[in-house]
Structures are given as structure tokens and as C-alpha cells.
């Protein structure tokens, strides 16, 4: 029990939270991404992408995303259990395809990444991250969230579907250097009174 806290911690309960990422979190975010991709996407991504992963470069990339985001609308959140970063979400304005224009529902925020390290899964971290992104987007006047999911990623599709998201009909193909990967865009509208 923390004697300075007005809330006693019950034995066996976890301390969990979502907060903005800090500079010191970059290596932990990179670790979560590395472990999650190597576990969840081994059958989908080319082996060379996963086996020749440059964790230092990934850490540097996350450090830049946290400390110098490209716009004020970009951000990175982390899910923490006790003192361990167990997941993260990165979000920002979506790239708009040529000729696509703005979405009729209004401003959109894209969830560029939302990952929870598999050993910390099924504890609500992903839901808390997604809710925090939605709250921040709503507070910023955003009407809609979107993300891109690999067709083969049924786990993520099930997660987003359970949160009220659905495919919106847009697809894209990624060139991986081996077999192309197809992604579908998923979205949800943000309720003002949520």
C-alpha cells in the first residue's frame, strides 16, 4: 500500500492507466512493437522485415514521434500496468488520397497504430487506449476515427468490431517487396454525448 495515496490498493489488483508517451518511453514502445509484430504478424509480413528489424532505428523513430510530432494533432499514448509500458496508440490526421477530399461526417483522426504486447493482452489495455484516443479526438472537434487493418488480421478486426467500428469500403495494397498486402479501412463516428 502506498501511504501517500488516499486510495488503498487491494492485494492482487493491477494499477493500470493510459497517459501521453514521454521521451523515456521510446524504447519501451519499440519493444512492444517488435514483440507484437513478431508474434502477431509472423505469418503475414515477410520474414526479412521481422528478422532484420533494427530496434535502434525503431526506437529513434518513436522518440521523434513523441518529442517532435509532425503536427499538434499527432500524438502517442501508452498503456501502463504498474510501472511497465504494455501497449501504445499513435494517432493523427489521416493522409488524404488524391481527389478523395474530406469525409462528409467531418474532421477525421487516424489511429496509425494500436498495439498491446501479447502477454499483456485481454486486460483492457487496448480498449483504454482506443477510448483515450476517441476522447482526445472528440475534444479536438473530430467527428470520425479511422484505421487500416490487414485483411488477415482477424484479431484486430474483432477488437475494432466489438468497439463499434466497421469497414467503410476503402481498401489499399501495400508493397512489401514480396507478396502485396491488402488493407481495409475501418471507421467509427464519434458521438458528441459519449
- Tell me whether residue 4 is in a domain: no
- Tell me whether residue 7 is in a domain: no
- Tell me whether residue 101 is in a domain: yes
- Tell me whether residue 161 is in a domain: yes
Instruction: Check residue 81 and give its pLDDT.
Output: 93
Kindly list the distances between the CA atom of residue 76 and the CA atoms of 45, 60, 159, 167, in Å, as whole numbers in the listed order.
Answer: 24, 14, 20, 24
Q: 180: which DSSP letter? A: -
- Tell me whether residue 63 is in a domain: yes
Instruction: Check residue 194 and give its pLDDT.
Output: 47
The H or E element that residue 148 is part of is strand 144-150
- Tell me whether residue 177 is in a domain: yes
Name the nearest CA neighbour of 138 among 185, 105, 115: 105
pLDDT along the chain (194 residues), means of 10: 42 77 97 89 73 87 97 96 95 76 83 92 89 96 95 93 95 80 94 58
Bridge partners of residue 41, in order along the sequence = none
Bridge partners of residue 19, in order along the sequence = 78
Instruction: Check residue 100 and give its pLDDT.
Output: 60
CB-CB neighbours of 159 under 10 Å:
18
Tally of structural domains, the chain:
1
Q: How far apart are CA 136 and CA 17, in angstroms?
A: 15
- Tell me whether residue 130 is in a domain: yes
Domain that holds residue 142: 16-189
DSSP letters, 12-63, are: T---EEEEE--GGGHHHHHHHHHHHHHHHSTTTS-HHHHHT--HHHHHHHHH
- Tell me whether residue 162 is in a domain: yes
Strands 75-81 and 108-116 turn out to be unpaired
CB-CB neighbours of 88 under 10 Å:
29
Instruction: Check residue 99 and give its pLDDT.
Output: 53
Instruction: Check residue 62 and give its pLDDT.
Output: 97
Q: CB–CB of 180/174 below 8 Å?
A: yes
C-alpha neighbours within 13 Å on the C-beta side of residue 184: 15
Instruction: Check residue 59 and give its pLDDT.
Output: 96
Provide the CATH number for the domain around residue 46.
3.40.630.30
Amino acid at each position: 500500500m502506498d501511504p501517500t495515496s488516499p486510495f488503498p490498493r487491494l492485494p492482487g489488483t493491477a494499477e493500470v492507466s493510459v497517459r501521453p508517451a514521454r521521451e523515456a518511453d521510446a524504447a519501451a514502445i519499440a519493444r512492444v512493437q517488435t514483440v507484437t509484430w513478431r508474434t502477431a504478424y509472423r505469418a503475414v509480413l515477410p520474414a526479412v522485415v521481422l528478422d532484420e528489424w533494427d530496434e535502434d532505428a525503431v526506437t529513434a523513430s518513436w522518440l521523434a514521434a513523441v518529442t517532435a510530432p509532425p503536427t499538434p494533432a499527432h500524438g502517442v499514448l501508452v498503456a501502463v500496468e504498474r510501472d511497465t509500458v504494455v501497449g501504445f496508440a499513435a494517432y493523427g490526421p489521416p493522409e488524404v488520397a488524391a481527389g478523395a477530399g474530406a469525409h462528409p461526417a467531418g474532421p477525421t483522426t487516424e489511429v496509425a497504430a494500436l498495439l498491446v504486447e501479447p502477454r499483456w493482452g485481454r486486460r483492457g489495455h487496448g480498449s483504454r487506449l482506443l477510448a483515450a484516443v476517441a476522447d482526445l479526438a472528440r475534444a479536438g472537434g473530430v467527428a470520425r476515427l479511422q484505421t487500416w487493418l490487414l485483411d488477415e488480421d482477424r484479431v484486430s478486426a474483432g477488437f475494432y468490431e466489438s468497439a463499434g467500428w466497421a469497414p467503410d469500403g476503402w481498401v489499399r495494397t501495400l508493397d512489401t517487396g514480396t507478396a502485396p498486402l491488402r488493407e481495409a479501412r475501418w471507421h467509427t463516428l464519434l458521438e458528441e454525448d459519449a
